[in-house]
Amino acid sequence: MSVMEMAAKTKFADLTFDQKLDRLAEVAVQVGLGLRAGQELIMSAPLEAAPLVRRITEHAYKAGALLVTTFYSDDPSVLARYEYAADASFDYAPTWLHDAIAAGFRSGAARLAIAGANPALLAKQDPARVARANVAASKAGKPAMELITRHEINWTIVACATPEWAKLVFPGEPENVAVAKLWDAIFVSSRVAVEDPVQEWREHGARLKKRMDMLNTKRFSALHFKGPGTDLTVGLADEHLWAGGGTAAGNGIYCQPNIPTEECFTTPHKDRVNGTVRASKPLSHQGTLIENIAVRFENGRIVEATATAGEDVLNRLISTDDGGRRLGEVALVPHSSPIAQSGVLFWNTLFDENAASHIALGQAYSTCIIGGEKMDAEQLAAVGANASLIHVDWMIGSGEMDVDGVTADGASEPLMRKGEWV
Ligand code: ZN
Ligand code: ZN
């Protein structure tokens, strides 16, 4: 069934576009953030997302938001920097702004990010400059990002169809058709194209939780992935904890950090990953596209990395720091997820990572370690949790992937066959 057919099966199709947008906004505030009365909201969005931002702002104030503040980004202004800025610009990031946002989070604000920037925006720019700008932004953003990765605050990400993104996803279509198609794909994938999206999310969250509880009961010591070009053993961190669906943030508020979300994920052991793995989908990273990634791991470290496009970007990325060559996340997603079934390649990790089982290079989530929130960097490293400035997910699962759970005594048990839960 195509995305269009799935949308057409429900009354959702009869709504006006504004009503559909309003549904997504409601899900973002009610389900994604679980926004509390009296809570401040800090939002970031591309300029083209203003209509969605306004809907979200309305729902936030109806939910009792203290104040909603939005930071807009603009793709052509980003490109102007690459064209005209002095070289020193690429090692600079506004630490003062990131610090202020971190202060906002610490004083109780929730965070909502709207994805929608052109995934190929920086594809033609100097990879060295792109990498430098990313490192500067990651360093400056660390205090705010840590509050997010440690789930100390309630946060979520939702998507907005924008013309440049839509043209990349649906090449050859006129702009208005491409945008409409991308919106449909976003509504279906985000599970808002149903009669009662808030109830749908409640049920979907419960299903993810059941799977997560099963994996946490099993306490596997490793996962073994086998598929075309892939024979990979991912050892799991000693005190690993599986997560999926909603999270109770440190501030006590229950949120769905990603809309959509289809994954159960945990922390690999940074020194216990061995074998070869081939990506099953292209990776869109900070404006560049990396295709046909193939890597080999030895004792947790990538020792060989190739790609048919963007290989230079890939090698710079994994060279960011020592942790950039190691895994910080492993996630299981069935091939029957609505995103995989849509057959759409979104060129956006928020969607594509929920279409397939995946691994992430770089920073591990301390919330995926038992007691991890209270551990310092040394303690986290001791149980095998990786540390890095980067966290980049890439897709390895497909309808041809088998996954086994391996127990401490070496026995293995089938978890997925041909991409589906056993
Ligand atoms: Zn993930
Ligand atoms: Zn991830």
Asked if residue 57 is part of any domain, the answer here is: yes
Number of CB atoms found within 10 A of residue 87's CB:
8
Whether residues 45 and 87 share a domain: the answer is yes
Mean pLDDT of 268-286: 93
Which residue, of 173, 189, 205, is where some domain finishes?
A: 189
What is the Å distance from ligand 2's center to 360 Cα? 5
Asked if residue 292 is part of any domain, the answer here is: yes
Whether residues 176 and 271 share a domain: the answer is no
Which residue, of 189, 207, 226, is where some domain finishes?
A: 189
What is the Å distance from ligand 2's center to 363 Cα? 9
Q: Which residues pair with 412 in a beta bridge?
A: 406
What is the Å distance from ligand 2's center to 200 Cα? 24
Q: Which residues surround ligand 2, an ion (CB under 5 A)?
A: 329, 360, 393
Cα separation, 194 vs 6, whole angstroms? 9
Ligand located closest to 364 CA: 2
Which 3 state secondary structure label does DSSP give 152?
A: coil
Whether residues 233 and 353 share a domain: the answer is yes
Mean pLDDT of 111-116: 97
Whether residues 24 and 135 share a domain: the answer is yes
What is the Å distance from ligand 1's center to 360 Cα? 7
Asked if residue 26 is part of any domain, the answer here is: yes
Whether residues 145 and 266 share a domain: the answer is no
List, as one string, the DSSP characters of 64-95: T-S-EEEEEE-HHHHHHHHHHS-GGGGG---H
Res 285 pLDDT > 90 = no
Q: Which residue segment(s) compose the domain that 312 sits in?
A: 218-243+262-421
Which residue, of 189, 209, 235, is where some domain finishes?
A: 189
Whether residues 226 and 350 share a domain: the answer is yes
Mean pLDDT of 282-310: 92
Number of domains in the chain: 2
Contact assessment for residue 39 and residue 109, using Cβ atoms and an 8 Å cutoff:
yes
Domain CATH code at residue 94: 3.40.1830.10
Whether residues 177 and 281 share a domain: the answer is no
Reading the block at residue 20, the tokens are: 């559909």
Asked if residue 202 is part of any domain, the answer here is: no
What is the Å distance from ligand 1's center to 298 Cα? 22
Mean pLDDT of 169-192: 96
Whether residues 185 and 222 share a domain: the answer is no
Whether residues 147 and 58 share a domain: the answer is yes
Name the band, by pLDDT with cuts 50, 70 and 90, for residue 78: very high
Number of CB atoms found within 10 A of residue 51's CB:
13
Whether residues 181 and 309 share a domain: the answer is no
List, as one string, the DSSP characters of 329-391: EEEE--TTSHHHHHT---SSHHHHTTSS-EEEEEPPPGGGBTTGGG--HHHHHHTT----S-E
Name the band, by pLDDT with cuts 50, 70 and 90, for residue 348: confident
Of 117-121, 160-164, 191-195, 281-285, give the lowest mean pLDDT range. 281-285
pLDDT for 361-396, tens place per residue?
Answer: 999 988 899 999 889 999 999 999 999 999 999 999
CA 211 to chain centre: 19
Asked if residue 35 is part of any domain, the answer here is: yes
Ligand located closest to 353 CA: 1
- Total count of residues recorded for the chain: 422
Mean pLDDT of 117-127: 90
- The candidate with the shortest Cα–Cα distance to 367, out of 266, 289, 264, 294, is 266
Asked if residue 255 is part of any domain, the answer here is: no
Name the band, by pLDDT with cuts 50, 70 and 90, for residue 169: very high
Ligand located closest to 361 CA: 2
Whether residues 122 and 239 share a domain: the answer is no
Asked if residue 12 is part of any domain, the answer here is: yes
What pLDDT is stored for residue 247 in this prediction? 87
Asked if residue 355 is part of any domain, the answer here is: yes
Mean pLDDT of 41-70: 98
Give the list of residues 6+ apart from residue 168 with CB closer than 8 angstroms, or none. Answer: 118, 119, 120, 347
Give Cα separations from 194 to 27, 55, 190, 258 (angstroms).
12, 19, 10, 18
Whether residues 180 and 277 share a domain: the answer is no
Cβ-in-10-Å burial (0-12, 13-18, 19+) of 150 comes to middle
